[in-house]
Chain A
């Protein structure tokens, strides 16, 4: 068939499709769902940004309060302030003033997918002495929230509902004509079934892809859910391609169902079964496979080990020996001072204790981190097995709410905690060994004032990973769509008798 003739046929099919009230009803429901999903995503992102802004404000206020207290106490006076009220005391500052946060800032496309964000934190306070094992102790990743289908966000609409909309739009093309008897008159015209199917499903694809991409863009624009997109062009284009390919996959599935020539009811039944398998059952099965391949270490065992370490440190003779060994290792010159007094100093005991806990629980921390890394890696490897998981992972990675980013975030939090400890520890030790007040007769005890030099958490946006995953998802989905289309094309060689 010549291109102009096919073009005329495609236009005729488009007119036919757009004349149907059902088409507009489906498009209206899809637009409403996309807007609702975008609004929910935008609200979550706004809440996340507000929490991060509040944390930043908290950090700034803590520094300002420390500076004000230092100015107040760096005056001679009759009283000496306690170390937990004294910002010139490095240990006091570290424990009682410092408000350090590790943040996982939302990406410009964060409104696309809640992903793991409703069960995993976007920010966590990096504090000392309270959590012995888990940096995300305020959260419980294994909560019952994971048993839900997920929040009603854009990703839910795009991954779960778009296929149903496409099935409603294109699932009975050709089959309904066959049931109504119209196909007989169509088939009697000098046109091949491939050309007719190409025009019918091509028109459905144009409408569906236009509705999905246009609706998503419109929903994001209307709800103001998008952040500044500079540097995210590749990701945006990759996601658009992935969404288009995902929609085409389902249109091709409709064509394949029609090519069986079993009628509209059979086609719809088959397509809904395929949706249930590919969008619900297979992702759930892949989740189980990931759990099997990357088993979750027991948190109870880690908590138990933490309690054992606490018992060991605080009861019997082990605690003092641990402190003495730590002090001898970190400050050999302490022997020349008054070691018993130093060993009893709260800051020395706390630093020695935390170092002991770190060493005692390193295996559990490493196992948890390794599990998070392995789960993210297996998820990325297995995602292409289902079009739904391929698209979901691309959306979550672009939104920055994927498990991989959270695993990297947890590792970064641990690293930041070590960085902070490395910043404070030598200063605390130096003050313990060579205490020097900021002035003679001052209310303040010591001279710490490096508040602005405390390392900040290096928050990162996963732009590269998002672009890579979006392009990979688009490639996988396009390949799957083309495979289905080729299968349908092969089957549509002749009209049914």
Chain B
């Protein structure tokens, strides 16, 4: 098995983007979680969804994973409808949740082999060890029970699972939250390396600093829609933070004035595009 996440054996439709969300809407009762969300992610692209709690980031991830079905619009992973064929869509996705929870009684190596089995892979010990090494887990830690691992170590096992999967799309939910700076920097490097190998990455995060390091596009999500799309390379951290806060304030203010919301969001997005 090669070290990359890209699966060349996919049966996706033609030249479809790795991830395509078109006019996606989702409600939970009367609460609007997403409304008209559009997002396209090509191979090798890294897209960060920024937004406050409740903005719709996790809902977006759940829709991509097929855990939820959209009320309107389409969610396609490599051309596959994630709502209608969630298992087939997940075959192209590797997901690292905010808190990577592992079986505490199993070692990192055994956890990796277990999750690989779930994914339909028959991973030998040597291959599993190599993947854990590639994910940055020290050799002495690989045989220890995962119950003794730090968050960063657990996340490395999660990365190893993703590496084993050779997925076309990497989904990251708050990937650097709770990591020390060194671990976060190491993680950023891993993500960039994956993207360089052609893996598309969608991450939901609050971490503006790491976003700027990792993402080539940033979407500011508020009240269920992208109110601003930013090229982080064109802004420094301070400008990015200021813009983020302004857009959130604008979206929140617009949301309280009803119809004005749409105008504010459109203006913001248009401004960023310009």
A binding-site residues for B, Cβ under 8 Å: 5, 8-9, 12, 16, 19-20, 180-182, 184-192, 196, 494-497
Contact = CB atoms under 8 A, between A and B. Distances in A.
Contacts of B117: 8-9, 12
A185 B103 contact: no
Contacts of B91: 190
28 contacts: A12-B114, A12-B118, A16-B103, A19-B105, A19-B106, A20-B105, A180-B101, A180-B104, A181-B99, A182-B102, A184-B95, A185-B95, A185-B97, A185-B101, A185-B102, A188-B94, A188-B95, A188-B171, A189-B119, A190-B93, A190-B119, A191-B87, A191-B118, A192-B87, A196-B118, A494-B67, A497-B62, A497-B68
A188 B101 contact: no
A190 B120 contact: yes
B112 to A, nearest CB: 11
Given A187-B67, A190-B88, A190-B90, A181 B97 contact: yes
Given A185-B95, A191-B87, A9 B67 contact: no
Interface string B245-271: 000000000000000000000000000
Given A16-B114, A185-B115, A496 B67 contact: yes
A9 to B, nearest CB: 6
A163 B49 CA distance: 48
A186 B94 CA distance: 11
B10 to A, nearest CB: 12
A12 B118 CA distance: 9
* Interface majority SS (helix, strand, loop, mixed), chain A: helix
Nearest to A10: B117
A16 B36 CA distance: 43
B101 A181 contact: yes
Nearest to A184: B97
A185 B100 contact: yes
Contacts of B218: none
Given A185-B95, A196-B118, A495 B67 contact: yes
B65 interface: yes
B67 A191 contact: no
B118 A9 contact: yes
Contacts of A185: 95, 97, 100-102, 115, 158, 161
A497 B66 CA distance: 9
A191 B165 CA distance: 13
B122 interface: yes
Nearest to B92: A190
